[in-house]
Amino acid sequence: MPFLVLQDRTVYEGEAFGAWPAERGEQVGEVVFNTSMSGYQEIITDLSYSGQILVLTHPQIGNYGWHDEESEADKILLKGLVVRELSSGEGSLHADVSLEEFCQEQGIWGLKGVDTRALTRHIRQQGTIPGVLVVNEEDGLRYWDNVEEGKADWHPQKHWVYQTTTAESYEIPGKGPYVAVLDCGAKRNILRSLQEYGFRIRVFPATTSADEILRSRPKALVISNGPGDPSELPEVVATVRELLPKLSILGICLGHQLLALAAGGETYKLPFGHRGGNHPVQDSRTKKATMTAQNHGYAVREDSLAQSGFEVFLRNVHDGTVEGMEHTSYPVFSVQYHPESAPGPEENHTIFEDFFLKIGLIG
């Protein structure tokens, strides 16, 4: 029987599915949970989960199989998937494969039959924690002993953003104005959302210089979602800082955090992150609240924005964290949540319209 062994030596037993190796091995990553009741395809292929072991809290996963067109990225950098009950997905007539077959094809280690309620409560109480998937419990315990002794290190050598971003820039045709996208691990639905307005889009790698983006003369820039700690991306922050006074900018999720850092603000790690499709956010100007889709482990420290030029206008109803900010001098604003949904509530798609109306790209 395979196991998930957390760094604090808490052990969860389950049954293997997906791409476990024939011989011993381990798969290590930060263990996080998502509370969405549907949309597992979009969640699994969201590159913001790169390097993580994902726990889905809904008790049955896989019941409508796998539909290739609903993937949010071509590559999968998820380290593992943990579920309570794995369905075969036989109820969907249009599925390309089952979830289990997809995991086998994509090299995802899966663990089913786990008490995901107990695991989620443990993470909520103790905070996000790394874990290792292993065939034998002793291997997992030994792995964390080696980490403590300096014989092993579960952290990536290269930031996950640099592993998720496109290798080269590419263009998506359109008859409308030209909008640039800085790809930090962008979901496809961000690009689809821009296509709905007819924009011509050029997607740039996260390593692109500010000069190169400016030379292409975009009418606006979108900074995408992505994985990992934003404070460990000083080169990208420097690029955003240079672009901040020169372009109209919309930041989404990681893009929101990068804008805050570029303006002199700070970010910090949340105890267990916000991941799911049911997070209420309130606009302090209108007092209107909406339900949002979220996937992030870091947040902007509001008291660090005093001299940044940004004003906070959206806050999380649960914990008051910063969910949206607007610059007082430049046509720049950002949201912490995912307005493009996929999956999640679609009521926040107006963020795109609000931004492009404000900067005059749509009328």
Residue type for 22, please?
A
Query: Would you call 199 helix, strand, or coil by DSSP?
Result: coil
Taking residue 329's Cβ as centre, other Cβ atoms within 10 Å add up to: 9
Tokens, residue 249: 């900018």
- Between the alpha carbon of residue 191 and those of residues 14, 76, 101, 203, 216, the distances in Å are 38, 18, 28, 9, 18
Q: Give SS3 for 347.
A: coil
Report residue 178 as tokens: 């030209």
340 is catalytic: yes
Q: Which of 30, 72, 326, 340 is catalytic?
A: 340
- In the chain, DSSP assigns E strands to 3-6, 11-13, 15-18, 26-34, 52-56, 60-61, 80-82, 85-86, 109-112, 129-134, 170-172, 178-183, 200-205, 220-223, 249-252, 267-283, 289-300, 310-316, 322-327, 332-335
Q: Which of 30, 253, 279, 323 is catalytic?
A: 253
> Comparing C-alpha atoms, which of 22, 26, 4 is closest to residue 13?
4
Q: Residues forming the annotated binding site?
A: 48, 226, 228, 254, 257, 295, 297-298
Positions at the binding site for L-glutamine: 48, 226, 228, 254, 257, 295, 297-298
What are the φ/ψ torsions at residue 110 (nearest 5 degrees)? -115, 150
Q: How many CA atoms lie within 13 A of 225 on its CB side?
A: 28
Instruction: Concatenate the DSSP letters of all residues of 76-142 into one string.
Output: ----EEE-SEE---TT-SS-SB-HHHHHHHHT-EEEES--HHHHHHHHHHH--EEEEEESSHHHHHH
40 neighbors 118 (Cβ within 8 angstroms) = no
138: CB partners within 8 A, 6+ apart: none
Catalytic, out of 122, 256, 327, 338: 338
Q: Is 327 a catalytic residue?
A: no
First to last CA, the chain: 60
Nearest residue to 325 via CA among 303, 338, 309: 309
318 catalytic per annotation: no
Question: What residue type is assigned to position 286 of the chain?
Answer: T
Which residues are identified as catalytic? 253, 338, 340
